[in-house]
């Protein structure tokens, strides 16, 4: 029982950290006006999952 509670606490802490990181990334994107195109990110992730080296996507302005 105690182990289950500990696991639940760890999971909740990880979720809160994930949400805090997402909020910080969103704020940075809004301040900079730059972001990543989904197709570039997907291409990069797929290549890395296949074990290939890939050039990281570059941020691009999304504001006009």
Q: What pLDDT sits at residue 63?
A: 81
54 pLDDT tier (thresholds 50, 70, 90): very high
Report pLDDT for 51. 97
Q: What is the pLDDT of residue 60?
A: 95
Q: What is the pLDDT of residue 36?
A: 94
Which residues of the chain form beta strands (DSSP E)?
34-35, 60-61
Q: What backbone torsions phi and psi does residue 27 show, to the nearest 5 degrees? A: -60, -40
Q: Decide: pTM greater than 0.75.
A: no
Report helix, strand or coil for 50. Answer: coil
Q: 4-19 pLDDT, tens per residue?
A: 999 999 999 999 999 9
Buried b / exposed e along 39-58 (16+ C-beta atoms within 10 A) = eeeeebeeeeeeeeeeeebe
**CB distance 32 to 59 below 8 Å:** yes
| In the chain, where the domains are located | 1-32, 34-64
Q: Give the pLDDT band of residue 41 (cuts 50, 70, 90).
A: very high
């Amino acid at each position: 029982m105690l182990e289950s509670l500990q696991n639940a606490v760890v999971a909740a802490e990880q979720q809160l950290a994930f949400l805090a990181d997402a909020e910080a990334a969103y704020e940075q994107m809004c301040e900079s006006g730059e972001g990543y195109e989904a197709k570039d990110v997907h291409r990069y992730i797929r290549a890395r999952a296949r074990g290939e080296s890939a050039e990281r996507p570059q941020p691009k302005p999304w504001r006009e």
